[in-house]
C-alpha cells in the first residue's frame, strides 16, 4: 500500500492538473463519473443512488457505494410488477441478486455480475451524512494514508462556481463543511489541496 492517496472530485481546480505524477505513487480514488477517465483508480466512490447503477453497469473495478443493498433476483422480478414507476431502468437479469434504488421520478434495477466488486458502506456507519468526495476522504483516512491529496474538490479561495458537474454551487458550501469535519477528525493526516 502507498503512504498517500489522491482523491479526485469533479471540480474545475483539477482541470489542468498533471495526474501522471501520482500514478504508481499514490492510491487513486475517483468520485462518481470519474470512472469514465482512463486512470488506474483503486476505488470509484459514489453516494448517489442513480450514479451507482451507471458506474456498476459500465465500470469494472473496485467501487465504494453508500447503501448498495442487494435483494434476491426473484424478489426484484416480483417487485417490477408492483413498481409505481412507469418505466424503471432495468439491466439484463442474472441470478446473482439485484440492487433497486431511485431518486425523484427515476428508479433503477441492476442485476449483479457474478463477481461483485462493490464495497457497501451503510449510512449508519458514517459519522455524519457525506457526499461522494467526503466519503472518499473518510475511507482513505480510515485506511491509514499519511498524506491525502484533494483535487477537484474546491479550494478555500476559489470555491464558488467552479464545479465541473451540472451544479450551480448550492452544494459547494455544504461539501466544504463536510470536508472540514473529516479533516478535523484526522489531524494526524497531511491533507493537501491541489
Q: What is the DSSP string of 91-148?
A: ----SS-EEEEEETTEEEEEEPPSS--EEEE-GGGSSS---HHHHHHHHHHHTT-SEE
Q: What angle do CA 114, 39, 172 make, to 5 degrees?
A: 100
Q: Which of 58, 102, 56 is nearest to 79 (CA)?
A: 102
Mean pLDDT lowest among 70-74, 75-79, 142-146, 148-152: 75-79
136, 166: one domain: yes
In a domain, 120, yes or no: no
Taking the C-alpha atoms of residue 61 and residue 33, their distance in angstroms, rounded to an integer, is 13
Residue-level pLDDT at 88: 85
In a domain, 32, yes or no: yes
Residue-level pLDDT at 15: 74
**What percent of the chain is modeled with pLDDT above 70?**
87
In a domain, 166, yes or no: yes
Question: Which range scores top for mean pLDDT: 32-41, 145-154, 178-187?
Answer: 178-187
pLDDT value at 164 more than 70: no
Mean pLDDT computed over 115-126: 90
| pLDDT tier, 155 (very low <50, low <70, confident <90, very high otherwise) | very low
> Which of 111, 142, 164 is the endpoint of a domain?
111
Contact by Cβ (8 Å): 47, 24: no
When the pLDDT of each residue in the chain is averaged and rounded to a whole number, the result is 87
CATH number of the domain that 130 lies in? Answer: 3.90.1480.10
3-state DSSP of 15-82: CCCCHHHCCCCCEEEEEHHHHHCCCCCCEEEECCHHHHHHHHHHCCCCEEEECCCEECHHHHHHHHHH
In a domain, 29, yes or no: yes
Number of domains the chain is built from: 2
Range of the domain at 101: 70-111
Taking the C-alpha atoms of residue 78 and residue 55, their distance in angstroms, rounded to an integer, is 25
| pLDDT tier, 170 (very low <50, low <70, confident <90, very high otherwise) | low
User: What is the three-class DSSP state of 167?
Assistant: coil
Amino acid at each position: 500500500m502507498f503512504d498517500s492517496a489522491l482523491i479526485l472530485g469533479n471540480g474545475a481546480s483539477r482541470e489542468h492538473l498533471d495526474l501522471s505524477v501520482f500514478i504508481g505513487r499514490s492510491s487513486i480514488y475517483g468520485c462518481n463519473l470519474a470512472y469514465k477517465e482512463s486512470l488506474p483508480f483503486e476505488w470509484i466512490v459514489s453516494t448517489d443512488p442513480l450514479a451507482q447503477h451507471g458506474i456498476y453497469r459500465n465500470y469494472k473495478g473496485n467501487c465504494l457505494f453508500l447503501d448498495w443493498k442487494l435483494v434476491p433476483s426473484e424478489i426484484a422480478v416480483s417487485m417490477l410488477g408492483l413498481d409505481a414507476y412507469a418505466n424503471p431502468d432495468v439491466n439484463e437479469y442474472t441470478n446473482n441478486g439485484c440492487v433497486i434504488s431511485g431518486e425523484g421520478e427515476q428508479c433503477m434495477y441492476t442485476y449483479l455480475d457474478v463477481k461483485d466488486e462493490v464495497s457497501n458502506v451503510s449510512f449508519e456507519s458514517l459519522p455524519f451524512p457525506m457526499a461522494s468526495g467526503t466519503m472518499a476522504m473518510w475511507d482513505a483516512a480510515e485506511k491509514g494514508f499519511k498524506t491525502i491529496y484533494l483535487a477537484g474538490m474546491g479550494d478555500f479561495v476559489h470555491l464558488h462556481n467552479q464545479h465541473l458537474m451540472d451544479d450551480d454551487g448550492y452544494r459547494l458550501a455544504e461539501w466544504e463543511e463536510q470536508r472540514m469535519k473529516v479533516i478535523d477528525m484526522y489531524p494526524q493526516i497531511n491533507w493537501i489541496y491541489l
